[in-house]
Amino acid sequence: MRILVTGRDGQVARALRNRAGERLEVVAIGRPEFDLGAQSDPTALFKELGPDVIVNAAAYTAVDKAEADRDAALAVNGFGAGAAARAAARLDAPIIQLSTDYVFDGAATRAYREDDPTAPINFYGRSKLAGEEAVRAATSNHVILRTSWIYAPEGQNFLRTMLRLAGDRDEIRVVADQHGTPTSARDLAAAIEQIARNLVASPNEASLRGLFHLTNSGVTTWAGFAAEIFAMSAALGGPHARVIPIATSDFPTPARRPTRSQLDIAKIAHSHGIKPREWRQALQTVMEQVTKNSDM
C-alpha cells in the first residue's frame, strides 16, 4: 500500500515515514514543491505519485499567530484542505484529513463526541473547521480525524520544549486549568495506517468513512503532562524540573484555548477497531526514545 502524506516535515508525516517498510510505502511531500496554501490544484502531482490513500497532515499550526495571520491560516487549513480533497476525489482515492480538538469551545463537562456542536473560540480552530467542511463537500470518500496535543521525540512540540527549558531551570510555570489528552504522533501514525488499510480493503463501506475522534486515552492538564514528562525523564537520567501550576489568566495569549477539550474515542474503536493506549503509556515509549537519541 502506498500512502501519500502532505506536510513532509511535520510530526505525523515523520511518524508515518518511520513506519514505511515492505508492506507500506510512504511518500511525503511539502514545500517548496508542494504548498498547500498556494491555491493551486494538486491533482497532477497526486496522480503522478499514485497513492492508494492520501493523508493531509499539512497545516498552519501556529495557534497564536493565526489570530493576526488569518488569511494564511485559512489558505492552508481551509482552502488547502478542500483542494487536496477535490484532488483525491478526481483520483478516486480516499483522503484522511487531520483536524483538531480546538473546533470545540471547551465548555462541555464530558468528553466531546463527533456529533457535538462545534464552536471554536480561536481562529486556528475556525480555520480547521473550515477544512473539515471543505473536505466533506469535496468527497464522501474521506475520514476526518480530530486529534489533540500531538507530540513526538523530535521536532517542535510541548514535550521537547519542556525538556529544553528544564536544561537551565529548576522550576517551570505551566497552565493547570486546560484539560485534554496528549497524543503520541507515533501512536497516531499507527492508527492512520490501520484506517488506510481498512479504507482500501472496504471501498464501499460507509461506516469506515466520516468524522472520528482519535487521541490516546485519558485526560490531564498541561501542568499534569509536564509533571509526567519530568518524572519519566528524571527516572531515565534526563533533564527535569519542578512544575508550578498556574491559571490560564496568569499566562495570557493572543488566542483563547478551550478549558476542556477531551475527545470521546469510542466511535473509532467501534468502526475501525482502534483502541489507543493510555496517554502515560504512550509517553513512556516516547520518553525512552528521546533519552536514547538525546542531544540535550
Q: For residue 47, give the C-alpha cell.
A: 496522480
Predicted model pTM: 0.95
Taking a C-beta distance cutoff of 8 angstroms, is the pair 216, 150 a contact? no
Amino acid (1-letter code) at residue 228: E
The mean pLDDT of 204-218, rounded to a whole number, is: 98
What phi and psi values does residue 28 have, to the nearest 5 degrees?
Answer: -110, 130
The confidence band for 296, taking pLDDT boundaries of 50, 70 and 90, is very low
Given the residues 60, 112, 124, 151, select the one marked as catalytic: 124
Segments forming the whole domain that contains residue 112: 2-292
Over residues 29-51, the pLDDT tens digits come to: 998 888 888 878 999 999 999 99
CATH code of 147's domain: 3.40.50.720
Taking the alpha carbons at both ends of the chain, their separation in whole angstroms is 37
d(CA 98, CA 32): 21
Over residues 48-100, the pLDDT tens digits come to: 999 999 999 999 999 999 999 999 999 999 999 999 999 999 999 999 999 99
Q: Clarify whether 60 is annotated catalytic.
A: no
Q: For residue 269, give the C-alpha cell.
A: 474503536
Radius of gyration of the chain (CA): 19
For the chain, the domain total comes to: 1
d(CA 280, CA 259): 21
d(CA 288, CA 111): 29
Average pLDDT of the chain is 96
